[in-house]
Structure 1
Amino acid sequence: MRPRGHRGDCAGGAGQPLGRTLYAPLARHTSTAIRAVALIVLGGLTTAVPALTSGPYGCVIRS
């Protein structure tokens, strides 16, 4: 039985493996406050970049 909301093996996308790979060094080299600000800024950037790009989002990703 799959957990509720399970969408298959690719549900995490690239962000999940990148996050797991990069978070440990980030935690080792930064304080909690700097880490929180960095993650909020990166989250904002990943939201803003598609909004600022021209053209349909799917075409921008595929090209």
Structure 2
Amino acid sequence: MASSTTFQKRQKEQNRQNKRQEKDARRKQRREELDRGRSSAEPGVDPDIAGIVPGPQPVAEDL
């Protein structure tokens, strides 16, 4: 009886490790995709403010 409990615990722990590894792989892939998107911007230019023109803005009706 005790050996089956030990086996179940081992199996449960292996499942946890596999799930953790899959999750880490997904996170790494997501980070790489985000980095690829960011690297396409010009160096030294903040992508949050790229394309913003200083000064008076056109009236919304003119757009």
TM-score range, shorter chain: 0.3 to 0.5
TM-score normalised over the length of structure 2:
0.37
TM-score between the two structures when normalised by the length of structure 1: 0.37
Question: If you compute each CA radius of gyration, which structure gives the higher value, 1 or 2?
Answer: 2
